[in-house]
Amino acid sequence: MEDEKDLRLLLKRILVKMGFKVLAASDGKDALKNIKKMSPPPDLVITDMVMPEMSGPELIKEIRKIIPDTRFLCMSGYTEDFEALLGYQTDDQEIAFIQKPFSKQILQEKINEILRA
Residue 31: which CATH number? 3.40.50.2300
How much is the pLDDT for 86? 61
Mean pLDDT of the chain: 87
How much is the pLDDT for 32? 92
Q: Which domain holds residue 57?
A: 5-116
pLDDT for residue 89 is more than 80: no
Summarised one tens digit per residue, pLDDT across range 37-87 is 999 999 999 999 888 888 888 899 899 999 988 999 999 887 655 555 565
Tally the domains of the chain. Answer: 1
Q: Is the peptide bond before 57 cis (omega within 30 degrees of 0)?
A: no
Summarised one tens digit per residue, pLDDT across range 1-37 is 999 999 999 999 999 999 999 999 999 899 999 999 9
Helix residue ranges per DSSP H, the chain: 5-17, 28-37, 56-66, 82-86, 104-116
Q: Provide mean pLDDT across the span 86-95.
A: 58
How much is the pLDDT for 117? 80
Q: Considering the entire predicted model, what is its pTM?
A: 0.86
CB 98 within 8 A of CB 74: yes
Q: How confident is the model at residue 112 (pLDDT cuts 50, 70, 90)?
A: very high
pLDDT for residue 109 is more than 90: yes
Length of the chain: 117
Cα–Cα distance measured from residue 43 to residue 101, given in angstroms and rounded to the nearest whole number: 23
Q: Residue 2 region, left (φ>0) first, then alpha (ψ -120 to 50), else beta?
A: beta
How much is the pLDDT for 83? 57
Contact residues for 12 (Cβ-Cβ < 8 A; gap 6+): 22, 24
